[in-house]
Amino acid sequence: MKKTIDPWNIGGFENYQMLLDEFGMESMEKFRLEYDELRYIRRGIIFGHRDFGNISDSIGKKKPFALMTGLMPSGAMHFGHKMVADEIIWFQKKGAEIFVCAADVESYLMRDVSFEQAREIAVKEYLENYLALGLSPKNLTFWFQSDYLPEYYRLRDMASKRVTFNELKAIYGELTPGKITSVLTQVADIVHPQLPELGGPRSVVVPVGADQDPHIRLTRDIASRLNAKREGNKQDLKCVPPSATYHKFMEGLQGGKMSSSDPKSFIALSDDPKEASKKIMRAKTGGRPTVEEQKKKGGVPEECMIYSMYLYHLIDDDIALSDIYHECRNGTLLCGEDKKNCAELVEKFLVKHQKKKAKAAKIAAKLVSR
């Protein structure tokens, strides 16, 4: 049977190489040097892409391009989710027009979150955090899947008409009506920045976790079939197949999956800084059973959740990071001290961030009141 990826259930999804080998995703290696200013690209955390060449070209030639991505408002925004926020902000600085969708239809259908709850989570947890992290409200469209433009819903209908049930089954395996609606809505999310009403055909980059690739593949297929008469609309539609970047997932603080339903597995951006620091002190490390053994053999940063917090978020300076790596490896830096340093960094970050978030609340409210 052909392999499929289930974007709603990615238990222990780690086989990134398989995505490159079997699903036609391309390696990000080629762009690593050119875009090394973004930590996630420099460190290979953004490991794959589709058609990133289009985006690179737009950045290089200063041609208009857009970024579109979405969030599923089902729980707290944690450090795993922060990656996408940082990516959006970086692309915005590179000149992208930004489209961010709160996938409240998807969270209603797939996670049983009410529309009211989803709205609250999307604004308080996500939008305010994005703004606090540095997203500019200029050039930003933020919307809810359940409450948007008529043209967007017509686009979803057009997408529905241009795909067969067998194609969907080949991509997703098992399907439910809720999945089908979520998927077709996401196709509209990704394509709609290219509607004539919203800026017309141009390159659009979709930064996502690797689990979202099935949606990207489907959207790219459908996009090529949309270049046709737009039923019921004055202007025809033309669109460029969307580009995507794919990042790896952070593991949970205790090892295993970082999961919104298990608060011990993550640090939320809204966690009390002191509580967050305690979570760090309890995190899984790559340490040995005894201090003696660790001094002799050294620790294993590759298996350490503290190291992964540095790698993904807390230490941007490669030399500082490499120092820690080697001190751990050669047994001079022990886990207790390392955790304490990390806990301090997290605490400081959260205190500062939460002040910014409080200030962002007004701007967020204004953005969604339109």
Task: Give the footprint of ligand TRP on this chain (CB under 6 A).
Answer: 68-72, 101, 103, 106, 186, 189-190, 206, 208, 212
Find the shortest distance in angstroms from Cβ 358 to ligand TRP: 26
Q: What is the DSSP string of 281-314?
A: HTS--S--SSHHHHHHH---GGG-HHHHHIIIII
CB nearer to ligand TRP: pick between 56 and 186: 186
Find the shortest distance in angstroms from Cβ 71 to ligand TRP: 6
CB nearer to ligand TRP: pick between 74 and 285: 74
- The separation between the first and the last C-alpha atoms of the chain, rounded to the nearest angstrom, is 48
Residue nearest to ligand TRP (CB): 70
CB nearer to ligand TRP: pick between 210 and 324: 210
Find the shortest distance in angstroms from Cβ 349 to ligand TRP: 24
As given in the structure block, the two tokens for residue 262 are 């298990």
What's phi and psi for 247, nearest 5 deg?
-110, 160
CB nearer to ligand TRP: pick between 129 and 212: 212
Q: Which residues are within 8 A (CB) of 70 and not within 5 positions of it... i.e. 6 or more apart?
A: 100, 101, 102, 103, 145, 186, 189
CB nearer to ligand TRP: pick between 87 and 106: 106
| Measured distance CA(344)–CA(357) in Å, rounded | 20
Q: Using alpha carbons, select from 354, 246, 265, 261 the residue that is nearest to residue 308.
A: 265
Find the shortest distance in angstroms from Cβ 212 to ligand TRP: 6
Find the shortest distance in angstroms from Cβ 197 to ligand TRP: 19
| Measured distance CA(193)–CA(203) in Å, rounded | 10
CB nearer to ligand TRP: pick between 72 and 159: 72
As given in the structure block, the two tokens for residue 19 are 């995505």
Element (H, E) at 219: helix 213-226
Find the shortest distance in angstroms from Cβ 357 to ligand TRP: 21
| Measured distance CA(81)–CA(70) in Å, rounded | 11
CB nearer to ligand TRP: pick between 106 and 251: 106
| Measured distance CA(320)–CA(311) in Å, rounded | 11
Find the shortest distance in angstroms from Cβ 216 to ligand TRP: 8
